[in-house]
Amino acid sequence: MAALRLPMRRLREILRLKNDCGLSHRAIASACGVGAGTVSEYLRRSRQAGIVWPLPENLDDAALEARLFPCGAPGPRPLPDPAFLHQELKRPGVTLQLLWLEYAGVHPDGYRYSQFCEHYRRFARTLAPTMRQVHRAGEKAFVDFSGKRPEIVDRRTGEAKSVELFVGVLGASSYLYAEVTEDQSLASFIGAHVRMLEDFGGCPELLVPDNLKAGVTHACRYEPEINRTYEDLARHYGAAVLPARAYRPRDKPKVEANVLVAQRWILARLRHRTFFSLAEMNAAVQELRREINDRLMKHLGASRRELFERLDRPALKPLPPTRFEMATWKECGVNIDYHIDVDHALYSVPYQLIHQRVEARLTATTVEVFFKGRRVASHARIFGRGRCSTLPEHMPSAHRAHAEWTPSRIIAWAEKTGPATARVVQVILNSRPHPEQGYRACLGLLRLGQARGADRLEAACLRAEHLGAYSYRTVKNILAAGLDRVPLDESAPSPLPAHANIRGAAYYQGD
């Protein structure tokens, strides 16, 4: 059985860390959550395929995979799970030979017995007592939030609100960065990183966070899943993210020790002062932080700032010319109206992507849409429920009906439900610049009919018609409140005037 292939996004990260960051195979494996053998195999395939870095912009995921695995060539051999082997060997009578036979039965094209044993022994050697960590200059910045939370006071109400203390420290010099943030949200976490790197005047090779949600989407000892926005920040600054293992403080002793320093020499010294804003508290924090960095460390005979200037600053990578722009990612499905829903606003994509899954990258000003690693749409971001951004080039030619739904089919379905439903659907379709833009609301009515029954839907549409409110939301609210069961006042005239824009199903027969 061939090994599962890595997602092409993971391969792109491997190539970046090797070519841009110059990391070793083992460091890349740790940062990407894969085995070192897998890194070697994919880099070998990339060389054989003549893939150069940076990748061409027009090389999407499908084309990249085809070049790496021509004619269905198998991926790298599956690695045995050393942690599983280690636990199984504790069972009575279990040997490495037995475990290899079980492994070979599932993966007949996997590693032979000697390589299988060597793979486990390399893992077992890492379980020896730990040694003191030696950090290279400019290699790592450790980041974490302090467990102790300071407070700011609302000047108007007098209410105290807890905030967070973000701490970052460089490995070689122990140079300390600290700031107060509103919370531990992704926006606060990323913003603190940007300001920290600007304070350093450069970026280290590795960012080592704890397993907090803002940085690590899925915490795992062997394959942690990094938040996409955090990955983007690391890529922007030319760094890699290497999360510490959960519940392993020895993986990040620098930040653990400096969190205590920040608690004792910043928070404790500010405990008697009252602050009314983050800016006011951060001004006091920065003053005390400078004192800490300038203070002589007796065991080293130098201050953090002296060591920073001597060791870390010359080794840091220069900052890019532009500041990182905060962006979040969202996976979306393309509806039959070739739009995706992002925060209750609709954005068009090429109509050929109907029913596909895409990824939306959201900034404060733009929405970019990606399909299999290739950008397929870009919109100025809009705010407000129900607002729509549609690019003409995304529409089907002459607005012809696509595979499943047409205006005539939707109206024909509505006429089977009842005349009131048909009239509501007609008005919804006629009120849009293009009928396709009304599909979503009409399909919502169809689903209401499936859930509540055709008779109730027809009664709800009749009441919506009398109210003059031709929308999916009105019909949904009528059904939810049970108003469709309340008799209508027949003496009240329907507000729907007769006019030439009311079309029947026959109007769309030529589509």
- DSSP letters spanning 125-150: HTTSPP----PPTTTEEEEEE-SS--
State which H helix or E strand residue 47 sits in: helix 36-48
Assess whether 278 and 145 both reside in one domain.
yes
CA distance 211 to 225: 10
Angle at 150 between CA 259 and CA 172, to 5 degrees: 20
Domain CATH number, residue 210: 3.30.420.10
280 pLDDT tier (thresholds 50, 70, 90): very high
pLDDT of residue 3: 40
Q: Report the candidate in 374, 376, 370, 358 with the shortest Cα–Cα distance to residue 57.
A: 374
Residue that finishes a domain, picked among 70, 102, 125: 125
Partnered with residue 205 across adjacent β-strands are none
- What's the total number of domains in the chain? 4
What pLDDT is recorded for position 218? 46
What does the pLDDT read at residue 357?
92
Tell which of 294, 315, 336 closes a domain. 315
469 in a structural domain: yes
Average pLDDT over residues 33-55: 84
Give the model's pLDDT for residue 329.
Answer: 86
Closest C-alpha to 308, from 173, 468, 147: 173
Give the position of tokens 């932080």: 289
The answer as to whether 307 is a domain residue is yes
pTM of the model: 0.55
| pLDDT at position 126 over 80 | no
Do 368 and 421 fall within a single domain? no
Domain residue limits at 349: 328-395
Query: Which band of pLDDT confidence, cut at 50, 70 and 90, is reported for residue 439?
Result: confident
320 part of a folded domain: no
